[in-house]
Amino acid sequence: MAIYRDKEIQCEKCNTIYEVEYPSFIRVPEDNNLKKELLSCDLHAHKCPNCQYDNFAPSPLLYVDDEKKIAIIGDTYDEAIGYKMDLKDDFPEYKFYIAENPWIINDIINAIDYNLAPLVLEFIKYDGTKYFELKTKKYQVKNSFIDFSDDGYEFKLVIVVHDMDGQYAEKELAISSKMYNNYVDKVEKYKKGMDSSIISPTYVKKLYHLARNLEIEEAKQNTYEFLQCRDEYDNAVLAFVQSFNNDKFKKGDKVGLVEYDKHNNCSVNICYVDKVIHMTDYEYYSEINDLPVATYKVNDMELKAEFHIENVLINDLFIYALKNNFKDIDYDVVFDARVLVPMKYDEDNDNSQGKVNFEYDEENKKYFSVYLEFSDVKNENAKSDLSIIVTFKTVLKYFFTVANKYDGIIVNPDTNKFKLSIDRLFSLISNRIMTNHELMKDFLDNASNEEIAFIGKDKYNLIKKVYSTDIGLAAIRDELNLTKAKADYMLDDGYGRIQRIIKSNELM
């Protein structure tokens, strides 16, 4: 009954790459022999044919118990959440569980076999591990699991640690029947509205966070839209859809997912929509704000010349804008500027004579390059008959269809080297409208109900009044009975939300 797949492993000891066969689907009782290997973790050990080293390399799998009526999806949450939806029709009466590592899979199987609740044990594991971490600074926790006696009547928490010398050890915490029953009552308070299939310390941490901040009921109120997408390697990527874009993305759409790192640097991942999912904040297993945002649809386009290559390029105002960080400039001057885009044939695609940008690499970053004058082209390799002249607006439109390949745009890479990060390019797009009184007034007058709701009706009305009257901000505050601090907050947050809407709308 088991289904096997092949995968490549690189030996941790000798770096040999070899292929192994592993079971991706285990169904008991038919596969009870594999169940034993799974519980012992021998299933995940693959001996290197060169040096005989046992490499521990877990793989995604589906474990089904037809007697207990359970199905465990052992995979990342991003993969498992969609897989669970697909499996519901095949196993309509089954209780599903999602486990991100092999130890959690084993904890779930053992818990079910001994008539215990996997979710309750996950809470005990989380609390016990945190208690241990607070009590000692000598060790670093690497893992934790539940160890059962052969008859299942006794069980304990085992915490795998290593000390400052890198030596591994196991610390144990007995779990009494009284402790377990107390946790049954404790966990019951969290169950309503949660996704009880998720057995994860990450989810327990989130539920505790919501409880501490008295946000549980609020997190249950609103349903949000998420996309399960597939990247170029067919990996699942879960993305969040901002409310003003609800129902705009469909299965098969190519979308730009925008993500910020801990240093607030922005990147774009271009993926295809596989599933549209709706759930509350309380159901989602982690922090929604940590997800990439589905920002725009990607429409494939070819970069074609808009002007003759012999045209004169006059971009003094563009250079002035770059040198002054786009302060006090007419954005249309920048967007309508004619720029030279160095092109070459795509050498990475043997079956295509398509053209790609002559990109620029610096400090482990890759930039899409453009020039403002012919005299700025110093690199002989960039002087190609394939190079074209287009407006900078066209460059921006094209760039965001391939933004996953770049860290930004570089203007005059051989001379001035003006670097525009992806976040800065997004700002140019939104600021073109937000710094223009008439364009902003037009946006506010035509904002959809969904966009107004996203901005917040009070913030929207305040900002609209700023653009529709000449009485000044102080008089508007008095009219709306707002303190300066309150009005400043509403304007700051409202403009931030408008910026996100414009960024999405202009690229959609």
Confidence at residue 351, expressed as pLDDT on a 0 to 100 scale: 52
456 and 475 assigned to the same domain: yes
The reply to whether 214 falls in a domain is: no
379 and 453 assigned to the same domain: no
Of the two residues 208 and 260, the one the predictor is more confident about is: 208
The reply to whether 136 falls in a domain is: no
The single residue listed with the structure tokens 């159901």 is 283
What tokens appear for 6 in the block? 């092949």
329 and 399 assigned to the same domain: yes
Confidence at residue 343, expressed as pLDDT on a 0 to 100 scale: 92
The reply to whether 322 falls in a domain is: yes
Helix spans in 224-376 (H): 316-323, 331-335
Asked if 333 and 325 touch (Cβ cutoff 8 Å), the reply is no
Is 352's pLDDT higher than 60?
no
- Provide CB contacts within 8 A for 64, sequence distance 6+: 25, 26, 27, 28, 70, 71, 72, 91, 94
Confidence at residue 138, expressed as pLDDT on a 0 to 100 scale: 81
Of the candidates 498, 467, 465, 493, the residue with the CA atom closest to the CA atom of residue 481 = 465
User: Which of the four pLDDT bands, split at 50, 70 and 90, describes residue 151?
Assistant: confident
Is 150's pLDDT higher than 80?
yes
Is 350's pLDDT higher than 70?
no
What tokens appear for 475 in the block? 């008089």
The single residue listed with the structure tokens 């509403």 is 490
Q: How many Å apart are CA 338 and CA 373, to the nearest integer?
A: 9
- Single residue among 415, 432, 449 that ends a domain in this structure: 432
Q: How many Å apart are CA 409 and CA 298, to the nearest integer?
A: 18
Of the candidates 473, 504, 505, 502, the residue with the CA atom closest to the CA atom of residue 490 = 473
Model confidence, pTM: 0.91
Q: How many Å apart are CA 117 and CA 108, to the nearest integer?
A: 8
Across the chain, mean pLDDT equals: 93
Q: How many Å apart are CA 318 and CA 414, to the nearest integer?
A: 17
399 and 445 assigned to the same domain: no
The reply to whether 402 falls in a domain is: yes
User: Which of the four pLDDT bands, split at 50, 70 and 90, describes residue 139?
Assistant: confident
281 and 336 assigned to the same domain: no
The single residue listed with the structure tokens 């009184």 is 437
Asked if 442 and 402 touch (Cβ cutoff 8 Å), the reply is no
* DSSP-derived pairing of the beta strands 254-260 and 293-297: antiparallel
The reply to whether 93 falls in a domain is: no
The single residue listed with the structure tokens 């989810």 is 203
The reply to whether 154 falls in a domain is: no
Asked if 297 and 255 touch (Cβ cutoff 8 Å), the reply is yes
Confidence at residue 353, expressed as pLDDT on a 0 to 100 scale: 61
User: Which of the four pLDDT bands, split at 50, 70 and 90, describes residue 164?
Assistant: confident
Is 349's pLDDT higher than 80?
no
Catalogue the E-assigned strands of 300-457. 338-341, 343-345, 355-357, 360-362, 365-370, 388-391, 408-411, 418-421
276 and 320 assigned to the same domain: no
Catalogue the E-assigned strands of 281-350. 293-297, 338-341, 343-345
Its domain, for residue 424, covers 316-432
What tokens appear for 120 in the block? 């309750």
**For the chain, how many residues are written?**
508
379 and 401 assigned to the same domain: yes
The reply to whether 405 falls in a domain is: yes
- Single residue among 381, 411, 432 that ends a domain in this structure: 432
Largest CA-CA distance found in the chain, in angstroms, rounded: 86
Of the candidates 455, 422, 389, 434, the residue with the CA atom closest to the CA atom of residue 296 = 422
Give the CB-side neighbour count of residue 158, counting CA atoms within 13 A. 14
Quote the distance between the C-alpha of residue 334 and its chain's center.
32
The tally of domains found in the chain comes to: 3
447 and 488 assigned to the same domain: yes
Q: How many Å apart are CA 313 and CA 340, to the nearest integer?
A: 8
Of the candidates 485, 478, 440, 479, the residue with the CA atom closest to the CA atom of residue 460 = 440
266 and 324 assigned to the same domain: no
N-terminal to C-terminal alpha carbon distance within the chain: 47
Confidence at residue 280, expressed as pLDDT on a 0 to 100 scale: 97
Task: Respond yes or no on whether the N-terminal peptide bond of residue 58 is cis (omega within 30° of 0).
Answer: no
* DSSP-derived pairing of the beta strands 155-162 and 168-175: antiparallel
Of the chain, the percentage scoring pLDDT greater than 90 comes to 84
Helix spans in 136-251 (H): 177-191, 201-212, 216-221
The stretch 106-121 carries a mean pLDDT of: 96
List pLDDT tens digits, range 408-441.
999 999 999 999 999 999 999 999 999 999 999 9
Q: Point out the least confidently predicted range of 73-77, 283-287, 381-385, 487-491.
A: 381-385
- Provide CB contacts within 8 A for 212, sequence distance 6+: none
Give the CB-side neighbour count of residue 218, counting CA atoms within 13 A. 7
Confidence at residue 261, expressed as pLDDT on a 0 to 100 scale: 81
The reply to whether 293 falls in a domain is: yes
- Single residue among 414, 432, 450 that ends a domain in this structure: 432
326 and 401 assigned to the same domain: yes
Asked if 322 and 372 touch (Cβ cutoff 8 Å), the reply is no
Q: How many Å apart are CA 60 and CA 78, to the nearest integer?
A: 12
List pLDDT tens digits, range 290-343.
999 999 999 989 999 999 988 788 899 999 999 999 988 889 999 999 999 999
